[in-house]
Amino acid sequence: MTDISIKEMMTRMPANFLPEKAAGVNAVIQYHLTGAEASDWVITIKDGKCTVVPGTTSAPSMTFTADSQIYKDIASGKLNGMTAFMQGKVKLAGDLNMAMKLVGFFKS
């Protein structure tokens, strides 16, 4: 999975979304990725739908900041997200409970 680009990973997110796991969730999540594939993405989960667009938002529910390779490693299961957070490889701001729930909203 880490052979695909960040852009492709983000584009695939809505197809891997599990709406039943996110019932009642209304959240806007800002991804700020640095490093080789530096980019910003806005993930909106609302009314059982997930949308992903490049860019930034002024008032996210949560902000996720990490090196793009670290994010790929977390998404592919090579690196545990909680471990990466504890090691300072991932920075979170805003609704930290959302971060814990977020991984369950998508197919592995």
Alpha carbon distance 77, 93 (integer Å): 22
- Structural domain that includes position 50: 6-105
- Residue 88: inside a domain: yes
Structural domain count, the chain: 1
Give residue-wise pLDDT tens across range 23-69. 999 999 999 999 999 999 999 999 999 999 999 999 999 999 999 99
How is residue 41 written in tokens? 């993405």
What integer pLDDT is reported at residue 13 of this predicted model?
95
List the CATH number of the domain containing 69.
3.30.1050.10
Q: Following DSSP, what letter does each residue of 39-61 receive, concatenated?
A: EEEEEEEETTEEEEEES--SS-S
> Is 11 among the domain residues?
yes
pTM of the model: 0.92
In a domain, 41, yes or no: yes
Q: Does residue 15 sit in helix, strand or coil?
A: helix
**25: part of which helix (H) or strand (E)?**
none
Q: Is 26 helix (H, G, I), strand (E, B) or coil?
A: coil
